[in-house]
Amino acid sequence: MTVLSYNEDSIGIGGPVFNDLVETNCSEKIRYTFTPKGYKPAKGYRILSYIWDAFGKAPEERQFVMRLDFFMFIYSLVSYIIKIIDQSNISNAFVSGMQTDLKLYGQQRNLFTTFFNMGYLAGSLPGQIIITSGVRPSYYIPTCELLWATFVMCIAACNSATPIYGLRFLEGLAESAIFPSFNLIIGSWYTPSELGKRMCLFEMSAQAASMFSGYIQAVAIAGFFQVPDFPNNTRAWYFKQHHRNYAVQRMEMVGRKPIKRLTVKEFSKIFTSWRPYLFLWPYNMISFGSYTGYFNLWLQSLKNGAARRYSIAQLNIIPTGGNAIGLVMAYLVSSLSDFSRIRWPWMIFAATFSLVGSIILEIWNQYPGKVNDQVVMFAQLIAFASSPHQPLCIAWMAESFQDSATTRGLVLGFGNTINYAMSAWMPLVLFPTPEAPHYKYGYKAAIGFCCGDYLGIAAFWWVIRWDRKRKGMVLNEYGLAVERDNLYEEEDEIQNLEMTMKSGPEVTAAEL
C-alpha cells in the first residue's frame, strides 16, 4: 500500500510545491491504524471521551489527535481569541468613555466596523488564493498577525475618529487571513467524528474573547512554529515522519483529497460551478441579521428615573452572559452533530433561537409598552444560542466538498468576502446608532434572514444529494460521498493495514 507524502527537496523559500508529491511505502512508516469499530477504552478514558472525543480512541490514534489538538488547534483558538478581543474592545470602549472623549455622537461607531469590514473584504478571497497558490500558511498567517498587532497599537495613539478609520481598514486587511485559513487547515486534518466540535469551538472562541478585556501580544511569533500547514506538505516540528504519513492516511481513509496548487483553470471551474453560490445561502443568512452586537446599546438606554440603570462596568459585563450561552451551546450542539455525523438538522435547531429572539424584539419594537424588560433581556440573550450555526455550516461544506481542498479554501474566502461586503453597509441601514435601541428595519430583516436561512439549508441539502447522484458517488463508512472505485480502494487499504497490524511491529504510544 502507498500513501502520498511531500518531497522535502521540492520545498523552497517561496513555499511548497503541492503538485510535486512522491509515493512512500506505507508499510515501512505507518504501523498503526484507525480506532477499530467496537473499540472500548478503559473506564477512565471512556468517561473522558464524553467530554473530548480523543480519549475514546485507541492509544495510537488518541496520541496523534491529542498532539494535533495541543500544538495546532489550541494555537488557532488563542490566535482567533486575540483578534476578537480587539474587535469587542471597540464596542466596550464606546460605552466606557470613548464616545464622550472623542465626541463621537454620529455614526462613528458603525463606521469603525464598516472600515474594518472593508479591509476584511479586500483581503479575504485574495488571502485564500495566496495560500492555495503555494505560500505556506505557517508563513502567511503569522506575518499577517504581526502586521495586525502593529495596527492595533497605533490606534492607542489616535485622538480623533479619522485616523481610526484608516487603521481599522488595515486591521481588517491583516485579520482577513485568520478565520478562513484556520478553517481550511482544521478541515484538512480532522475526521467527521472530530471536525464539527473543533469548527464550533474555533468560531466560538470569539464568545470567550468577548468575556475578557485587553489583548495578548507576541502570539504571532508562535505561529511560525505551531501552524502545521497541510497533511501532505507539513514540516511541523512536533510531527515525526510517521505522524505525517499517518495524517495523510487519515484523510485518505475518509475520502478527503489533499490540497494542490491553484491554477487559472481550477479557479474558473470552481466559480462557474454551483458550489460557491449555494454555500453562501445558508452560510451568510444568519450573520446578515445578527443583532447581538447592539445588546449593550439597549442596556445603555435603560434608566431608573433620570439616572442610568447600569454602570459602565455592568454595560460591559452583562453581555458576557450571552457569550457564555454561545459557548455552552457550541459545545453541546457540535458534540451532538459529531456524534450523529450530520450537520443540517443542528443548523436549523441553532437558527431557531435567533428567529425566536427576532420575533420577540420586533413585537417589542412595535409595542414598547407591551413587552417588559425581562422578556427583552431574554430575547437579546437567546440570539447567542444560534452561534453554532455558522461553524456547523463550514463543517458541512468541508465534508461535502472534500474532493477538492482548493474549493474548500476559496469557497470559504468567497463567503467571507460577501459577508463582510454586506456588513460594510447593512448595519448603517438596519441598526443605525442614533435610532438605538429601536430600529425601523433591523428586527424585521433579522426575521426575514432567518426564514431565508431555512430555505438555504434545504436548497444546499437537495443540490448536494442531486450532485452526488449525478456523479454516481456513494457514501463511505464515515457518511461522506466518494467515488465508487475509491470506496473499494478504502476498504482494501483498511484490510491491508489490519494485516500489517497483525504481522508487523507497531508504533507504540511512547513513540508518538
**What pLDDT score does 220 carry?**
56
The mean pLDDT value for 1-15 works out to 35
Average pLDDT over residues 434-462: 91
DSSP string, 457-473: HHHHHHHHHHHHHHTT-
Q: pLDDT confidence of 235, banded at 50, 70, 90?
A: confident
> What domains are defined for the chain?
2-31+56-493 (1.20.1250.20)
Q: Which region among 18-22, 128-132, 272-276, 318-322 has the lowest average model confidence (pLDDT)?
A: 18-22
Least confident of 157-166, 205-214, 245-254, 412-421: 205-214
Cell of 421: 461586503
Q: How many whole angstroms separate alpha carbon 493 and alpha carbon 209?
A: 43
Q: Is residue 263 scored above 90 in pLDDT? A: no
49-53, 105-109, 192-196, 208-212: which has the minimum mean pLDDT? 208-212
* Contact between 405 and 260 (Cβ < 8 Å): yes
pLDDT of residue 487: 58
Give the mean pLDDT of the chain.
79
Q: Is the pLDDT of residue 187 over 50?
A: yes
Q: What is the dihedral of CA 275, 277, 278, 280, to 10 degrees?
A: 120
pLDDT band at 219 (very low <50, low <70, confident <90, very high): low
Average pLDDT on 171-198 reads 87
Per-residue pLDDT averaged across 270-298, rounded? Answer: 87
Residue 124, CA atoms < 13 Å, CB-side half-sphere: 23
Confidence bin at 457 (pLDDT 50/70/90):
very high
Whether the pLDDT of residue 318 is over 50: the answer is: yes
Look at residue 316 in the predicted model and tell me its pLDDT: 76
Pick the most confident of 37-51, 81-95, 351-365.
351-365
> Alpha carbon 79 to chain centroid distance?
12
On the question of pLDDT at 421 being above 60, the answer is yes
CA angle 337–339–341, rounded 5-degree value: 60
User: Which residue in this structure is represented by grid cell 502507498?
Assistant: 2
What's the CA gap between 351 and 385, in Å, rounded?
8
In the structure, what pLDDT confidence band is assigned to residue 252 with cuts at 50, 70 and 90?
confident
Extract the runs of DSSP E, i.e. beta strands, from 28-135. none
Mean pLDDT across 133-152: 86
Q: At what angle do helices 320-340 and 389-400 cross, to 10 degrees?
A: 30
> How much of the chain exceeds pLDDT 70, in percent?
79
Distance CA 375, CA 211 (A): 23
pLDDT of residue 176: 86
**pLDDT tier at 4, thresholds 50, 70, 90:** very low
pLDDT at site 156:
72
Task: Give helix 74-93 / helix 178-187 axis angle, nearest 10°.
Answer: 150
Question: Using one digit for the tens of pLDDT, what is the confidence trace for 358-387?
Answer: 999 999 999 887 888 899 999 999 999 998
C-alpha cell at 324: 457564555
